[in-house]
Amino acid sequence: MPRFGKSLPLLLAAGRKGLGWALLAGVILILPPTASAQVAVSPTISTQPRSIAAPKDSAVTLTVVGTGAPTPSYLWFKDGVIVAGQSSATLVLDRVQPIEAGNYTVTLTNSSSSITSLAANVTVTADLATKSVARWWNEALLDGIRKDNPNPPIHARNLFHLSAALWDAFYAYERDGWAAHHELFHRQTINALPTDEPARLAAQREAMSYAAYTVIRQRFARSPGAAATTAGLRWLMQRYGFDPDLALALDTGASPSAVGLRIGQKILELNLADGANESATYANATGYTAANPALVVRYSGVGANVDPNRWQPLDLLNTVTQNGLVLGASVQGFVGANAKTTRTFALARTADGFLSDDDPGPPPRLNPANPASRADYIAQAVEVLTYSSHLTAADGAKVDISPGKILNNPLGTNAGRGHAVNPATGLPYPPNLVNRGDYARVLAEFWADGPASETPPGHWNLVFNQISDHPLATHRLLGSGAPLRRLEWDVIGYVALNAAMHDAACAAWTLKWQYDSARPITMIRYLAGRGQSSDPALPRYHADGLPLIPGQIELITAASAAPGQRHEFLARFVGQIAVKAWLGNPSSATQTSGVGWVLGEDWLPYQRETFVTPAFPGYTSGHSTFSRAGAEV
């Protein structure tokens, strides 16, 4: 047994601190504590989470301060139910919604025991006076869209019908309402409006709320987010002091609530047979079937017997919608197909449902009998590949995104050269150089409709609301005349905008149905599979192939695929086509994958691997159609 002598106090002190020791070659080593040597200490809470009353859409943070050994784990609960994804000392609700109101507790657990905090109550508030009643209900519908299956034509229709409900209820309670305006779907004539102005405005607000509540509640009753949407609708009704459970006979009663209920119900009834097939959950009732077999994204190429001019649905192992709804393994169906048969607001149709006056004609086709059309088809694919090669900041390329340099496009083009001067200052805009790759990815991600997306029709409602809130907005109808009070401005603006959105959806999706055009993933993979169209003397020549462009589209050779060369990771594919493009989803959310050489038949757009590309034909662009219509309004 070793003699410790003067070292004994050191060893005793080490023991009291939970440290270990060892004797090595006559030298005493003080070791850090081990898990087995650590004394377990039950969790304790020194700071409890605090209750909070937060405005809707604001950020809410609840924090607990606790200690214990080993360090405890954290599990948050709302009204006794586990809150998914919240496992730290801080719980964050980024944009608090009414359904998130309740009592929150957190349980701290380690190997010794567990302890649960006191309840912190979260309430969701609203300053109703900051927005018009029309604006509040518009935002309630946008909340519903964010939690529903992404379907731009259906949500354009929902926005239009809500706007119509607000219009019909608003003008029912205007003193000159039906003398100066026409109902959109249902006229309610009020025999005796309140003579007291505050009472009239209160009645108008009540009727508008019940009309809006009736429409939105029904339209989102079968939504995946129905519980959250319904909670938001009930919350808004209650904030206004209205009873969301009010049951009135829709054909009797002169109260504002009865008037609003009748308007909302009539709009629902009149549009149940408008061609959208709402009663069958919008299932495709047009007779459309995909001409092509599904493209199995995880495999190279497009498959056999594919018409490169026709849309090809995708086969995904795990499908997740743009707003995060998990669908699992699935094959796409044509989302929005019934827009081809849906009744429009002002858009003219032929007897067989196609566009009377606004048909731009077919897109370019890969057609040997039409060399010009084939060249345009291939050029479009090359343009997409060019933009795909820009999705990295590592190349050092810069782009000037000053308003004096880009956009201000002539109608139907992407050839704008900006504005000569800033209209506010009268001076030219200064340059604004940014990384091209960063700008390209920001644009792609914005238009990809992320996890909080309202879909493109909803985007334009956000734009309208932001413009209307601007301090310089005058709220003059068509830019002239006396300023409108904000409620009337919102009512008129929503009808103008959302009638345009609805017709834009009907127009774009009718053309998608009619021309059934391929999306870029089919076009590029198909062309790459054919080969190269530049030189008959080179391998893999085909007139329907991709043109060879050094540094962008290349033929893989033994030399280019040699170790250390640009195609070395494609050595198994000598003789095939490589494209420089985005490399796909990175392995971590903290990384970017950048751009590199990939097999042309494996090309993917800049999208999540669980989504890849929208579930409808490509031509004509819904985003572009919505955007031009929205910008005009």
**What would the pLDDT profile of 143-164 be if each residue is shown by its tens digit?**
999 999 999 999 999 999 999 9
The mean pLDDT value for 412-436 works out to 94
The answer to whether residue 322 scores a pLDDT higher than 70 is no
Which pLDDT score is estimated for 587? 80
What's the confidence (pLDDT) of residue 22?
A: 43
263 is written with which tokens?
């308007």
Residue 11, pLDDT > 80, answer no
Rounded to the nearest 10 degrees, the angle between the axes of helix 133-146 and helix 486-515 is 30
**Does the pLDDT at position 404 exceed 90?**
yes
Residue 224: cis peptide before it, omega within 30 degrees of 0: no
Compute the distance between CA of residue 377 and CA of residue 203 in angstroms, rounded to an integer: 58
Other CB atoms within a 10 A radius of the CB of residue 594 amount to 14
Distance from C-alpha of 69 to C-alpha of 44, rounded to nearest angstrom: 10
Pair of tokens at residue 633: 């309004």
Burial class (CB in 10 A: 0-12, 13-18, 19+), 339: buried
What pLDDT digit, counting tens, does each position of 47-71 carry?
A: 999 999 999 999 999 999 999 999 9
Tell me the C-alpha to C-alpha distance, in Å, between residue 124 and each of 91, 121, 216: 16, 10, 20
DSSP code per residue over 113-130: -EEEPPPEEEEEE--GGG
The 3-state DSSP class for residue 340 equals helix
Give the mean pLDDT of 115-129.
98
Mean pLDDT of 499-520: 98
> Which residues lie closer than 8 Å to 290 by C-beta, 6 or more apart?
310, 311, 312, 313, 334
Q: What is residue 470's predicted lDDT score, i.e. its pLDDT?
A: 96
Find the mean pLDDT for residues 560-579: 98
Encode 491-521: b = buried (16+ Cβ within 10 Å), e = exposed.
Answer: bbbbbbbbbbbbbbbbbbbbbbbbbbbbbbb
Q: Which two tokens stand for residue 52?
A: 């909070």
Tens-digit pLDDT profile for residues 246-269: 876 666 789 999 999 999 999 999
Looking at the predicted structure, is the pLDDT value of residue 186 above 80? yes
Q: In this model, does residue 413 exceed pLDDT 90?
A: no
- The amino acid occupying position 502 is H
